[in-house]
Amino acid sequence: MYVLGIETSCDETSVAVLNDKRDILSNVILSQDEIHSPWGGVVPELASREHLQNIDFILEESLRIAGLKIEEIDLFCVTQGPGLIGSLLVGLTFAKALSLYFEKPLVGVNHLHSHLEAAFIENDVEFPVLGLVVSGGHTSIFYLKRELDFNLVSKTRDDAAGETMDKIAKFLNLGYPGGPIIDRMAEGGDYERYKFAIPKIKEKTLDFSFSGLKTAALHIIKKEKIDKNSNNLKDFLASFQYAIINYLIHNVERAIDMDDTSSIIVAGGVARNRELRKRMADFSKSRGINVFIPSPKLCTDNAAMVASLGYKLFLKGKTISYDASAFSRYYINNNENISLPQLIKKYK
Ligand code: KG4
Ligand code: ZN
């Protein structure tokens, strides 16, 4: 059996092919970084137009690398949400058309769940699992007692971790996306030079809030007259990155103290960050819990994670019908099969 995955939730167009052992036969990712770079952030309308223009040749390339013809694909899986609605609709409509024409089943995949799935492609992960998804759009903690049992424990109430890094990098004119730039530029900087407090939300919650860290960073930038060329930039970026990582680890630690946890997964674009990977490994060692962080290519948005999770859902009979809609936000008790009529009912 061959499984094809499609991912277009934000600004990467990706198509992957896996076999039924979930080996990756191809995982082609086309990044739109160059398109969005002049604006310092993803422009939704440009993103969907690019997906529309590129999706068919990314499909062809993915099939070529896998050495397969489209007729040999047995199952189509696609990211249904959350994400940018225009971008999602390109992938979802494309996947629906393929499924309909070739008369093969279609599975809709939750983007955040698929980020965590990336760790399962490469590792045998023992349950219960605490999963941290850190990306440009989300900072969320999930608890999984068993396979596919995704329970959202916490989310960000404002900016996501990656978004915060992207915005500060934009403010300093460092380029886009800011996360990898900060990762590189912070290397060797004095992370103790500028102090950031761990943000506190008054209620007892594991939710994140990054807007305070962003404001504190802007305050330091102004007060210390930090700019692109100043000598203190490296130390500032190291301190800022350190603060974000401390905050992520702080909430993960609080979460694992609440329930039995055998493994931690850290996934999503920000999980490419070298300092975060190192600090997470040190932290989990100190707590005697295994940590699984996907290899960098599987941290960024990619379709292999979609195909892998989609295949598992297919085995549980979770296919979607052609009236299934894309969804832009993560719903609690999210039903992947949610259809437009159900959505309308829910929000009436
Ligand atoms: O998961 P992803 O590819 O797309 C979303 O679903 O958002 O994540 C993109 C985010 C961006 O904010 C980018 O700056 C961040 O991941 N990122 C990083 C690194 N590489 C990508 N952040 C910190 N360090 C990195 N090395
Ligand atoms: Zn993502």
Q: How far apart are CA 69 and CA 121, in angstroms?
A: 24
Tens of pLDDT along 318-327? 999 999 999 9
H-only helix segments in 1-138: 33-36, 44-66, 85-102, 111-122
Q: How far apart are CA 267 and CA 179, in angstroms?
A: 14
Among all chains, which residue has been given the structure tokens 């401390």?
A: 246
Among all chains, which residue has been given the structure tokens 């990582």?
A: 245
Report whether 153 contacts 169 (CB < 8 A): no
Report whether 146 contacts 114 (CB < 8 A): no
**Residue 200's pLDDT is what?**
82
Helices 161-171, 178-185: inter-axial angle, 10-degree rounding: 70
Tokens encoding 29: 């990712």
Q: How many CA atoms lie less than 13 Å away from 104 in the CB half-sphere?
A: 19
* Centre of ligand 1 from the C-alpha of residue 168, in Å: 14
Shortest-distance ligand to the CA of residue 12: 1
Tens of pLDDT along 51-102? 999 999 999 999 999 999 999 999 999 999 999 999 999 999 999 999 999 9
Q: How far apart are CA 126 and CA 290, in angstroms?
A: 9
pLDDT classification of 337: cutoffs 50, 70, 90: very low
* Centre of ligand 2 from the C-alpha of residue 188, in Å: 28
Tens of pLDDT along 210-235? 999 999 999 999 999 999 999 999 99
Average pLDDT, the chain: 94
Tens of pLDDT along 297-319? 999 999 999 999 999 999 999 99
Report the DSSP beta bridge partners of residue 272. Answer: none
Give φ, ψ of 146 to 5 degrees.
-145, 175
* Centre of ligand 2 from the C-alpha of residue 112, in Å: 7
pLDDT classification of 158: cutoffs 50, 70, 90: very high
Determine which residue's CA is closest to atom 20 belonging to ligand 1. 180
Task: Name the CA dihedral angle for 313, 315, 320, 326, rounded to a multiple of 10 degrees.
Answer: 20
Residue 10 CB–ligand 1 contact under 6 Å? yes
Peptide bond into 177 cis (omega under 30): yes
Tens of pLDDT along 17-56? 999 999 999 999 999 999 998 988 899 999 999 999 999 9
Q: What is the pTM assigned to this prediction?
A: 0.93
Tell whether the model's pLDDT for residue 202 goes beyond 80. no
* Alpha carbon 178 to chain centroid, angstroms: 15
Q: Show the CA angle centred on residue 325, arms to residues 324 and 328, nearest 5°.
A: 145
Tell whether the model's pLDDT for residue 332 goes beyond 90. no
DSSP letters along 288-315, please? T-EEE---HHHHSS-SHHHHHHHHHHHH
Determine which residue's CA is closest to atom 13 belonging to ligand 1. 179
pLDDT classification of 330: cutoffs 50, 70, 90: confident
Pairing of strands 263-267, 129-134: parallel
Shortest-distance ligand to the CA of residue 179: 1
